[in-house]
Structure 1
Amino acid sequence: MDDWTMSDEREFMENLLNERFNFYLVVYGAVVVSAGTVESWFAKMIILIVGAILLALLLLTIGRAQVKLDYIIGELCATKTAVRLGHCHPVAVIDERARHSKTFPRGRRRLVGFYIPAFCFVTVYLAAAFASCFVI
């Protein structure tokens, strides 16, 4: 029986994060399309409110997976000296180099785990808020 390594855990968490993010985008698309095609103001409000609640809950699970992945990648190589010398996992080496990139200095990994889901949630939340203010 093989031992579960930190590299296996990283691979598992990356796949879990990607699957949750893809599901989040499907739910977001379904909420937006449903709210856009329904004629009734009341039905539109229900769809947007339920969609915002569902997206908020999914956002929490995606954020948790992103935090875990960040910790795992950090543990793959705990010291910056080891990263510079190349004595750690390749993912940690690439992550350290990507952080010092001039095009995106803080890295892009958090886009999937935090920023894109938060943007999607805010758009649905604001749509629900505006739809409740303006009865069409």
Structure 2
Amino acid sequence: MKFLLLACVVVSCFILSWSQLVPSPPEAALSDASKNCMVKENVDSEAVFGFKSGKIRPEDVSAVFKCFVRCVVEAKGYMKDGELLEENVVKAAENITSVEQVRKIISNCKVHKGSNVCETSFNIYMCISSELK
């Protein structure tokens, strides 16, 4: 009986220590727009953090995730109905690079249309993100 009790304590301690080594994604790190869009588009935080960390590649995201990205970029005022709101993007990115460079990036990226508004928003987001790195 003592052995069984000891085994249960050891297993419980192992599970507790393992859960502390592998923390859940920090929800506080997400913007309000992201949190709201996660609910609206039914996307979980694992998908968001997997994408942000590179564990989920852009070519592997679902149509639902692309709609999540659309929701976020629209909530932040960067796009509306699949169209870039160029001046808002310039204003947001002007601290990252020059205005001229941002305008060039916008010009190069706004042509990346998809088969629907969600895909277009995702394609343009990916293009601008990669160009700003």
Q: TM-score, normalised by structure 2?
A: 0.29
Q: Which has the larger radius of gyration?
A: 2
Q: TM-score, normalised by structure 1?
A: 0.28
- The structure that is helix-richer by fraction is 1
